[in-house]
């Protein structure tokens, strides 16, 4: 067994654990919408067609904000197609995913669903095939009280009160050559700035997200953010980051160290944004919206037999292992460790498509393995995030070189006198961690739950094959305790006033 040490001190503050860090993502892709959150005729569906079992799991997951409707989908989307009487909505080709979009589910249905889920909407506008005017039209439809053609169209549809959507994405992954309407950084930066200016003329209270790089490995990474922010810094509130981690090559050690890459990604974007701020004497610090992240078996071969232009075919329906759950838990640790600069984060996606929730059409819904670390972190990371700098061993990985074996963060709920420690042992060897609760009043360990890495997955027939295990809580001795972490594993330890 290896040994490590950490100190938890309430004076070592990073920032508040923003509830927007626990967001999700619903895109018109595969069965995320149709057969996921929306399935008219399902035994659990309400009169609008919203699946009550998926809603219940969404609330249990603790989702705070949901990004919609894309994703690549949004770059060819006409929002008007998804409002008004459902029987009159047009069917369209979706070029992003080579499917047919029925438009049976649109903005009004999404807003009804988001209210039922208790989640804040995060709406994306199409800056691929459309531009400033369409973004302004959508904002007017959604947020203006009434008395104009577009706001009255919303009211005629049954939404008398404005939706008051505060969080908006200015397009999606516009740096990607795969994106419909792909643009250079200069082209997109100017368009984002123009769109942001116009949207804030309509509603000055909106917060806007400019597209950053769609991945740290993009050849334009860094230069893209710098150019876009040269144009748009003073008009936007966030710059986006997207990252997916692929287990397909079987390199478990590197997969378990994925958070090292996410950490470097965040630090690089922060450095670039701060450079632009220094050049232009901006006093406001740009925040990051990490609005797509997850484990994704991207290299897994697609179904060669699936014909194009189907309606809501099953796509990207990954089955997640216990090891994937450990990785997701560590990615959440990293987001919390940057709570001072990451203000929004959305796990992609919510249902069926690389998702924590899976469903069977006409049948049950169940929790994937990755559901559990997300739900437990969202429920317990409340308060001030504290900086922890573990002292302990490292181990080698093929992809990232030497990495720390222990990843950890603590959240201090001062009001209730509680501290929650999230700790990940990335190594195959068990780890004994001495925890020093310096500066805190006498505490006791109230709960220790863990997920150990492995190949088990949850299915409709075995929905609880992977669940968090309750472990014996460590005894406190003079403000210290020792945690034994299996290798590899994700752990949550709740501490309360003794």
Active site members = 173, 292
CA distance linking residue 309 with residue 472, whole number of Å: 53
Longest dimension (CA), the chain: 70
CA distance linking residue 439 with residue 8, whole number of Å: 8
Backbone φ and ψ for 150, nearest 5 degrees, come out as: -75, -45
- Tell me 150's DSSP state: H
List the end-to-end C-alpha distance of the chain, in Å, as a whole number.
Answer: 29
Q: Which residues contact 332 (CB under 8 A, 6 or more apart)?
A: 373, 374, 377, 381, 422
210, 238 contact by CB (below 8 A): yes
**C-beta neighbour count of 224 within 10 angstroms:** 23
The strand pair at 480-485 and 431-436 is best described as antiparallel
CA distance linking residue 247 with residue 303, whole number of Å: 19
Q: Which residues contact 462 (CB under 8 A, 6 or more apart)?
A: none
Half-sphere exposure at residue 48, Cβ-oriented, CA atoms within 13 angstroms: 16
Say if residue 254 is exposed, middle or buried (CB neighbours under 10 Å; 0-12, 13-18, 19+): buried
3-state secondary structure of 497: strand
CA distance linking residue 161 with residue 154, whole number of Å: 9
């Amino acid at each position: 067994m290896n040994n490590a040490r950490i100190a938890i001190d309430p004076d070592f503050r990073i920032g508040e654990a923003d509830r927007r860090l626990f967001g999700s993502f619903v895109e018109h892709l595969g069965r995320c919408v149709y057969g996921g959150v929306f399935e008219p005729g399902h035994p659990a569906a309400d009169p609008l067609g919203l699946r009550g079992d998926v809603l219940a799991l969404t609330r249990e997951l603790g989702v705070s904000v949901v990004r919609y409707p894309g994703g690549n989908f949004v770059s060819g989307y006409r929002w008007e197609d998804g409002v008004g009487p459902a029987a009159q909505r047009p069917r369209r080709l979706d070029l992003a995913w080579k499917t047919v979009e029925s438009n049976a589910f649109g903005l009004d249905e999404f807003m009804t669903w988001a209210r039922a889920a208790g989640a804040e909407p995060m709406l994306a506008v199409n800056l691929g095939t459309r531009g400033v005017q369409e973004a302004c039209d959508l904002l007017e439809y959604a947020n203006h009280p009434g008395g104009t053609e577009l706001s009255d169209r919303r009211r005629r549809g049954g939404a008398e009160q404005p939706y008051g959507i505060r969080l908006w994405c200015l397009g999606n992954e516009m740096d990607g050559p795969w994106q419909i309407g792909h643009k250079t950084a200069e082209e997109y930066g100017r368009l984002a700035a123009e769109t942001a200016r116009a949207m804030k003329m309509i509603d000055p209270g909106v917060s806007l997200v400019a597209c950053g790089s769609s991945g740290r490995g993009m050849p334009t990474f860094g230069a893209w953010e710098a150019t876009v922010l040269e144009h748009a810094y003073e008009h936007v509130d966030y710059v986006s980051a997207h990252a997916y981690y692929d287990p397909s090559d079987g390199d478990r050690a590197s997969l378990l160290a994925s958070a090292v890459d996410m950490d470097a990604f965040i630090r690089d974007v922060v450095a670039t944004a701060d450079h632009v701020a220094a050049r232009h004497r901006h006093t406001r610090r740009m925040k990051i919206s990490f609005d797509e992240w997850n484990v994704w078996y991207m290299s897994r071969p697609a179904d060669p037999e699936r014909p194009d232009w189907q309606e809501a075919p099953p796509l990207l329906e990954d089955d997640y292992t216990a090891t994937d759950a450990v990785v997701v838990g560590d990615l959440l640790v990293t987001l919390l460790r940057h709570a001072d600069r990451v203000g929004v984060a959305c796990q992609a996606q919510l249902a069926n498509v690389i998702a924590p929730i899976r469903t069977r059409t006409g049948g049950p819904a169940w929790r994937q393995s990755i559901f559990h670390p997300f739900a437990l972190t969202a429920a317990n990371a409340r308060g001030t995030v504290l900086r922890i700098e573990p002292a302990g061993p490292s181990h080698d990985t093929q992809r990232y070189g030497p990495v720390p074996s222990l990843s950890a963060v603590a959240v201090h709920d001062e009001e209730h006198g509680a501290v929650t420690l999230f700790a990940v042992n990335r190594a195959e060897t068990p780890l004994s961690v001495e925890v020093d609760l310096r500066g805190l009043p006498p505490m006791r360990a109230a709960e220790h739950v863990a997920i150990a890495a492995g190949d088990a997955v949850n299915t409709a027939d075995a929905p609880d094959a992977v669940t968090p295990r309750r472990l014996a809580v460590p005894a406190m001795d003079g403000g210290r305790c020792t945690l034994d972490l299996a290798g590899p594993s994700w752990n949550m330890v709740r501490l309360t006033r003794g």
